[in-house]
Structure 1
Amino acid sequence: MFNFTRWPRLSVVLLAWALSVPALAQIPDNVLVVAQIAEPKSLDPQAVTAVNDFRILMNVYDGLVRYQDGALEVTPGLAESWDISADGTLYTFKLRQGVNFHDGSPLNAEAVKFNFDRMLREDHPYHDTGPFPLSFFFSAIQETTVLDEYTVQFKLDGPYAPLLSNLAYPTGLIVSPAAVQQHGKEFGRHPSGTGPYTFKEWASNQHVIVERNADYWDGAPAMETVVFRPITDANTRVAEMLSGGVDLMVEVPPDSLQQFNSNAAFNVYEQAGPHLWFLILNLKEGPFADKRVRQAINYAIDKKALVDNILQGTATIATGPTPAAFAWAYNDKLEPYPYDPEKAQALIKEAGAEGAELTFYVTEGGSGMLDPVPMGTAIQADLAKVGLTVNIETYEWNTFLGKVNPGLEGKADMAEMAWMTNDPDTLPFLALRTAAWPD
């Protein structure tokens, strides 16, 4: 599991960028080519955690509910309606009738029960097709009951305000039980959902192709084919965009924004988003087992310089786990740790950690991080100024997740990470609940 127990306050990413180049692209009009930062880890929505995967999955699957376009308001999806008991512990969903998965099997209440039991019950025959790293989104569900063919009910262990929002998150997308039963642990390479696009092909390190679902229950989409290409190097993504090799680019390097903004052949779309960047620290061993060293690096990192010089104003400094995008839940009275290298040095000396050597995992891209390597290098330089030696190890996104997700114990002292949350309750639950504290 991720160790989110302590938070160096890095920047909240407020910009999600997409670029389209109809004037330059040499691609058929009915095909959209999207440049991604890596290939997906899996196409099983319940087994992944990253935006890089979610962009594909949201086109192949549907959830019981979904977010309203451009907002985080929950609207009907595969469930056409729902009721919540007065005490907030029973959620009853009425499903749309006549909806089929891409493999031809029917969507019904049994299929919904299969999905949540697979994630939440260790004795379920297909629980071993996981792991399911975000199943805690639904940990309040005690029991899933089929009331009739198209009615399913969740019984909670208590009121849980984020449930509807969590159901709209990609982890709540509904997969075909028949496909899971057929492919087992390989289901993530053979996805079947109810979404607007059907899976066609996954050529490793080349592309994932999805095709229009002409029978989509909510109306067939406009594009016939969407191709997701993994292009790990940011400069190569920019070059492909400029040459017309891709139609849509995400996670644009800040250094390239002006270049595209000033070119009439490109459209730049900007939107504030609920994204948080932070450092994961190894609290179980090494220097960060001492709170004073954790406090010291928060004083030592010049976060304003990261935002201004590397991210070029595309972020703001975080003061806690709730992004400013959630205005109703955000406390604008909180102040971040100030940049104070002298205080950092004093705390390091007090903790007896002078001259400590740290291993720092840095991703080459992913989870909405626009410039993770330059950010990591800047953090390395800031910590060197207070007497800490930082050794950076960089990895491609999926390799990075394979190293970080099991925990840093015995491997590293710190790692970059980012999180795009759907609800302000999610990050505090993940980071601050007692079960997340180290032994």
Structure 2
Amino acid sequence: MKIREFLPLFIITLFFWCFGTVQSATPKDVLVVGQIAEPKSLDPATITAVNDFRIVMNIYDGLTRYKDGSLEVEPALAKSWDISKDGTVYTFHLRENITFHDGTPFNASAVKFNFDRMLNKKHPYHDVTGPFPLSFFFSSVEKVTVVDEYTVRFQLKEPYAPFLSNLAYPTGLIVSPEAVKKYGEDFGRNPVGTGAYKFVEWESNQRVVVEKNQDYWDGVPKLKAVIFRPITNSNTRVTEMLSGGLDIMVETPPDSLQIFRKKSGFTVYEQAGPHLWFLILNMKEGPFTDIRMRHAVNYAINKKAIVENILKGTATVANSPTPAAFAWAHNDNLEPYPYNPQKAKKLIKEAGYKGAELTFYITEGGSGMLAPKAMGTAIQADLAKIGLDVKIQTFEWNTFLSKVNDGLEGKADMAEMAWMTNDPDTLPYLALRTDAWPDKGGFNSGYYSNPEVDKLLEKARRSTNQQKRAEYYKKMQKIVYEDAPWAFIANWKQNAVSRANVKNFKLQPSFFLLLHDVEKQ
């Protein structure tokens, strides 16, 4: 290894050897980011959590990306594209002379490899590197064809409105085929992309380290290295930020935001985005197979008190499965279920509920989960007021995800969940369709099923007319609101805190951390 290449890693190692986990100041040109949990993987095609997305977006690129400050797509690894009149053929013209971090070439064959390993079950690396939980994003792809070295064509089965947007999402990021072949099932811990930063090391429950890509096609990053530290305890994260152990902290606890607003030397960032915090209700078995019980839960939870007292006004009360940030597709006519414990008690009595203990899964912390313990405890107390005896079971984030994503049948009656999405299609399509039940590879963990919702979601994703799509989504929201497979709790305004010497940092509506332009002074 050349001395120049060795320096960033040497600085990082010396930094931790000297200062441990808490220190008065982090080195210049090394940015330390306090994350909310340990990543599950750094293979973008296999992850689902924004916590992991924040890291991989700096290691990889996609064919498209979101424009700064929006969810509108622009060219990335593809410099341009053509779309057929019927909306089923996308031809991408790729940038030339780009290499992956391992020195292998980025080209049309690499793009084809990426999508084939996700979508073709017979691909030699499908079982080795999978499963691919968000391959739903590309279920419309019939085949990918290499036209020439820098031209690749996607043939879709039918028109699919979110296609370009999904290519900009982490699931569409392009990985090095040769690295996948080299590392196999361990690729997720040895990531290789074309992004602004190159992977250096991942020490479990301690840090993920990346260093700047000197050959980055879109300009060399300002920072020498970035360290992502998983700190699941929110109080510890705040202490680290205050003591100088972090340069940036994401998902600041609501109680602490005022501290950083008032204290000199810090900058607070807030950015609205498409987020939903909700309760999944088990409709496969138990009391929530009865719609009256599901309505009772929605009426019993004092969502306004949660938003005001626990989240300190950093969120608004949710009214449907479509986040309010999707203004064009959101049904504003649906009023959030009001807090009405008397009505909830009446519904429970009508349902003939016998009072068995209910199991409620919550997590210690995770992507978009806000204050999961406090919120879970408040919900437990609200349900106790209407006669529901709820037992809480708490898990760390990755364990929680595994349990909930596998479905609640035989395990729990309800579970917390939060999603941040890129398109109105994503959350309901992956978590409310009948064909998205866990045994079918989806995230419909509560086993909701309504044929009309299924039809509306299929129509919406096939339509290229935004007005028609909006009509379908608004009808879908009304049905889901009435069926109440979830309790809709909050839409969050994301936040972060940085030290004052961090420059050019901003939050994105995608919820990603894009660190290419960030520097320290």
Which TM class, normalised by the smaller chain length?
A: over 0.9
What's 1:254 paired with?
A: 254
| Offset of residue 322 of structure 1 | 1.6
Local SS of the residue matching 2:121:
coil
- For structure 1, list consecutive stretches of 5 or more residues without a partner in the other structure: 1-23
Local SS of the residue matching 2:58:
helix
What's 1:148 paired with?
A: 148
| Offset of residue 341 of structure 1 | 1.1
Local SS of the residue matching 1:393:
strand
- For structure 2, list consecutive stretches of 5 or more residues without a partner in the other structure: 1-22, 438-446, 450-521
What's 2:233 paired with?
A: 233
What's 1:86 paired with?
A: 85
Deviations 1:25-47 (A, max 9, x none): 51111000001111100000010
Deviations 1:359-403 (A, max 9, x none): 111111111222111000000001001111111111111121121
| Offset of residue 436 of structure 1 | 3.1
Local SS of the residue matching 1:60:
coil
Question: Residues 295-314 of structure 1: matches in 2 within 5 Å?
Answer: 295-314=295-314
Q: Which stretch of structure 1 is more off in the superposition, 292-301 or 39-48?
A: 292-301
Local SS of the residue matching 1:368:
coil
Question: For the residues of structure 1 that align with 2:334 and 2:282, how far apart are their CA atoms?
Answer: 25
Task: Summarize the Cα distance change of 1:363–1:86 in structure 2 as closer, same or farther, 3 Å threshold.
Answer: same
Question: For the residues of structure 1 that align with 2:177 and 2:276, how far apart are their CA atoms?
Answer: 34
| Offset of residue 433 of structure 1 | 2.9
| Offset of residue 270 of structure 1 | 1.1
Is the Cα–Cα contact under 8 Å of residues 36 and 232 in structure 1 kept in the other structure?
A: yes
Matched, 1:39 2:38: yes
What's 1:28 paired with?
A: 27
Question: Residues 194-233 of structure 1: matches in 2 within 5 Å?
Answer: 194-233=194-233
Is the Cα–Cα contact under 8 Å of residues 41 and 48 in structure 1 kept in the other structure?
A: yes
Local SS of the residue matching 1:378:
helix
Question: Residues 34-433 of structure 1: matches in 2 within 5 Å?
Answer: 34-128=33-127, 129-433=129-433
Q: CA RMSD in A?
A: 1.2
Local SS of the residue matching 1:382:
helix
Question: For the residues of structure 1 that align with 2:426 and 2:225, how far apart are their CA atoms?
Answer: 34
The residue identity in structure 2 corresponding to 1:74 is V
Q: Which stretch of structure 1 is more off in the superposition, 292-301 or 326-335?
A: 326-335
Local SS of the residue matching 2:410:
coil
Question: For the residues of structure 1 that align with 2:410 and 2:361, how far apart are their CA atoms?
Answer: 13
Is the Cα–Cα contact under 8 Å of residues 25 and 246 in structure 1 kept in the other structure?
A: no
Is the Cα–Cα contact under 8 Å of residues 165 and 422 in structure 1 kept in the other structure?
A: yes
Question: For the residues of structure 2 that align with 1:373 and 1:68, how far apart are their CA atoms?
Answer: 35
| Offset of residue 285 of structure 1 | 1.2
Local SS of the residue matching 2:272:
coil
The residue identity in structure 1 corresponding to 2:370 is L
Larger RCO of the pair (alpha carbons < 8 Å, separation 6+)? 1
| Offset of residue 97 of structure 1 | 0.6
Is the Cα–Cα contact under 8 Å of residues 37 and 52 in structure 1 kept in the other structure?
A: yes
Is the Cα–Cα contact under 8 Å of residues 348 and 354 in structure 1 kept in the other structure?
A: no
Question: For the residues of structure 2 that align with 1:236 and 1:324, how far apart are their CA atoms?
Answer: 32
Question: For the residues of structure 1 that align with 2:204 and 2:239, how far apart are their CA atoms?
Answer: 22
The residue identity in structure 2 corresponding to 1:94 is H
Is the Cα–Cα contact under 8 Å of residues 211 and 226 in structure 2 kept in the other structure?
A: yes
Question: For the residues of structure 2 that align with 1:268 and 1:65, how far apart are their CA atoms?
Answer: 29
Is the Cα–Cα contact under 8 Å of residues 162 and 423 in structure 1 kept in the other structure?
A: yes
Is the Cα–Cα contact under 8 Å of residues 209 and 225 in structure 1 kept in the other structure?
A: yes
Calculate the TM-score normalised by the size of structure 1: 0.93
Q: Which stretch of structure 1 is more off in the superposition, 90-99 or 355-364?
A: 355-364
Deviations 1:308-338 (A, max 9, x none): 1111111111111221112222222211111
Question: For the residues of structure 2 that align with 1:263 and 1:382, how far apart are their CA atoms?
Answer: 35
The residue identity in structure 1 corresponding to 2:96 is Q
Structure richer in helix, relative to its length: 2
Is the Cα–Cα contact under 8 Å of residues 354 and 387 in structure 1 kept in the other structure?
A: no
Question: For the residues of structure 2 that align with 1:159 and 1:219, how far apart are their CA atoms?
Answer: 35
Q: Matched residues, percent identical?
A: 73
The residue identity in structure 1 corresponding to 2:99 is N
The residue identity in structure 2 corresponding to 1:224 is K
Runs of 4+ in structure 1 over 6 Å off: none
| Offset of residue 347 of structure 1 | 1.6
Is the Cα–Cα contact under 8 Å of residues 251 and 369 in structure 1 kept in the other structure?
A: no
Deviations 1:168-201 (A, max 9, x none): 1111111111111111111101100000000000
| Offset of residue 430 of structure 1 | 2.0
Is the Cα–Cα contact under 8 Å of residues 363 and 397 in structure 1 kept in the other structure?
A: yes
Question: For the residues of structure 1 that align with 2:334 and 2:59, how far apart are their CA atoms?
Answer: 40
Local SS of the residue matching 1:249:
strand
What's 1:9 paired with?
A: none
Is the Cα–Cα contact under 8 Å of residues 36 and 367 in structure 2 kept in the other structure?
A: no
